[in-house]
Structure 1
Amino acid sequence: MGIIWESIKHFYAYMAVIPVIPFLLIYFGYGAIIQDRKKAFRLAMDVTTALLIGCVAVLLDSLFHNSFGLYGILLFMLIGGGLLGNAQFRKRGSVNVKRIFRAVWRLGFFTMSMLYLLLMFIAIGQSIFSI
């Protein structure tokens, strides 16, 4: 069981290092199979979000020398879900949890993408200029 778990962890780590590659593989591969680019784009976003969350969490941990990265990301996603749920409840009188989860997850894709780029440039800059 330990070998399987280690293999899964290594596979995730390799895919999360450069999340553009899995995004493009899923987008073009799934898009070629189902012939629906919009659905393929959404699936690629959803899978890549999980990779970006892990990568951004590791970048936050290494840049700021703490271990709060993943918890901070999850905290912001939960707060965002709470705010969206509150807004939906006030507007419609009920809460559609699936819709809120999807909205938070997709907003997380864009947020994590921007954080990934920003933190990666900072990490590269630190490694180049720290002598």
Structure 2
Amino acid sequence: MTTVLAILKTTYIVLSVIPYVVFAAVWGICYFMWKDKKRSTQLAMDISTFFLITSVAGLANSIMGFKFSWWFIILMLLIAFGVVGGYQYRLKGESNVPKVMRIIWRLAFMVLSICYIILLLIELIRQLF
């Protein structure tokens, strides 16, 4: 059991280093199966967000010396969930939790993608000079 967990952990870490390869692979497999670009893109976004969270946290830890970046990202996701859920409740009188989760998760993909690119460029420049 320990070896299986070690293999899963190592695989997750390797895939977190290259989250856009995960996005492309998932998109390609889904598009091959379903022939639906929108559905493939959405599933690829959803899956690669897991890897982006770890990547951005790791880069932020490396660049800024923080040790709590992962928890900070999770905190921001929870705050965003509360804000969007509260807004939806105020607007419609009820909150559709799965819809709010989907909105926040896909918004997290967009924000984390931008953060990943910026932090990766900073780290590359830092390593070169």
Offset, 1:3: 0.9
Q: Secondary structure at the match of 1:94?
A: coil
Unpaired segments ≥5 residues, structure 1: none
Identity, in percent, stands at 33
Aligned to 1:114: 114
Alignment map for 1:63-74 (pairs within 5 Å): 63-74=63-74
Offset, 1:122: 0.7
Alignment map for 1:1-131 (pairs within 5 Å): 1-129=1-129
Offset, 1:22: 1.1
Greater than 3 Å deviation, 4+ residue runs: none
CA RMSD of aligned residues (A): 0.8
What is the aligned residue count? 129
AA in 2 matched with 1:22: V
For residues 46 and 65 of structure 2, the distance between their equivalents in structure 1, rounded to whole angstroms, comes to: 29
Unpaired segments ≥5 residues, structure 2: none
Compute the TM-score of the two structures, normalised by the length of structure 1: 0.95
